[in-house]
Amino acid sequence: MLNPAWMKTFITLIDTKHFTKTADRLFMTQPGVSQHIKKLEQACGHALIERHNKSFEITEAGKTVYDYAKQLDIRQSEMLESLNQDDPHSGKISLSCSGSLALLLYPNLLNLQCKYPTLVPYVEAAPHHKILADIISGETDLGIVTQAITDPRVESEKLGYEPLCLMLPKQEAGTALNLEKLKQIGLIAHPDVEHYLSIYLSQCGEKLLAEISIHQLPVSGYVNQLSQILLPVAQGLGFTVLPKSALDTFAHKDQIAMYQPQNEVVETLYLLTKRYRQIPARFKTIKQLLNQQLNVS
C-alpha cells in the first residue's frame, strides 16, 4: 500500500508546482518534500516528475498516480464529512459559482462561520464548465450556474435570478443608447463580456440595441479580474455588462450609472448537486443562506 503521507505531498507538489511552497503548506522542510517524492517513486517503480534545474514536469506515470491520489483524498474527505452529515452547523462545504456571486456571497458565508466556527466554507470562482465538472467528480459540493443542466449525473434546481446590467460612466446617466453612442463610449471587455452582452442586447426590449453585433463595438479596455472591471468604467473610459452583484460589491459604485432598458434583463440561477448523493444537513443551512442573499422566497 502506498504511504498516504507521500501521496499527500505529491498532490500538494503538483498543485503548487513548487517544492518550497509545498514545504510551507505542509509545514515540512524542502528536503523532506524531496524525500517523500523519491520514496513514492521508488514504491511505484516509475519516475513521477522530470526535474529541470529548479522546475519540473509531471510524467505520464505521475499523472496516473496524481489522479489516483486525488480520488483517495476525495473519498477520505467524504468519509470524514459523513461523520458529521446530520449536524447542520458543522463540517466543510464547498461552493463554486461566478466571480460576481463569490464576491457577494463569501462575506455572508464568513458571517455564518463566525456564528458556527466548525461550519467551514470553501468558495471558488469558476467558469460554468469547471463548476459542472467539479460537481460530477465530487470536488465541489454545491454549484451555481446560469444555464439549465440536463446531465443525468447532476441534480439541478432553480435558485433565483441574477439581473444583468449595462454599466456606464456616471456622466452618461440618462443617455439614450444606440450603436453610435456605444461606439463613442467604447467597450470594456472581460472574459464573459460576449456572453453577457449578447443576452443583454437580445432581451432588453429595445430594437436599436437588439440589432447591434458585439463585433461592431470598439474595445477601449480589457481586464480579467472581476474586482477591476468596473474601474475603467468609473473613470469614464468605457461601458460594460456584468451581473448586478458585481456593482453591489464595487467600492466606487457612485461613479457608475446603470442603463435602464425597456425590459429588465436577468439570468436564471440554478443550484447544482451531484445526483444520488446523500445531502448532509449543513447543505440545507448553506442553501437557506443562498436563498436569503439572492432574495428567493
pLDDT at 2 (0 to 100): 87
Residue 256 has pLDDT above 90, yes or no: yes
Query: Are residues 16 and 22 in contact, defined by beta-carbon separation less than 8 angstroms?
Result: yes
In terms of Cβ atoms closer than 10 Å to its own Cβ (0-12, 13-18, 19+), residue 34 is middle
pTM of the model: 0.62
To which residue does cell 517523500 refer?
36
Paired with 165 in beta bridges are 242
Instruction: Give the distance, in angstroms, between the CA of residue 117 and the centroid of all CA atoms in the same chain.
Output: 23
Domains, the chain, in order of start with CATH, read 4-82 (1.10.10.10), 91-161+268-293 (3.40.190.10), 162-266 (3.40.190.10)
Residue 84 has pLDDT above 70, yes or no: no
Residue 296 has pLDDT above 60, yes or no: no
Which whole number is the average pLDDT over 236-253?
Answer: 92
Q: What is the dihedral of CA 30, 34, 35, 40, to 10 degrees?
A: 140
Give the Å distances, CA to CA, from 114 to 83, 111, 195, 252: 22, 5, 36, 28
Query: Are residues 252 and 234 in contact, defined by beta-carbon separation less than 8 angstroms?
Result: yes
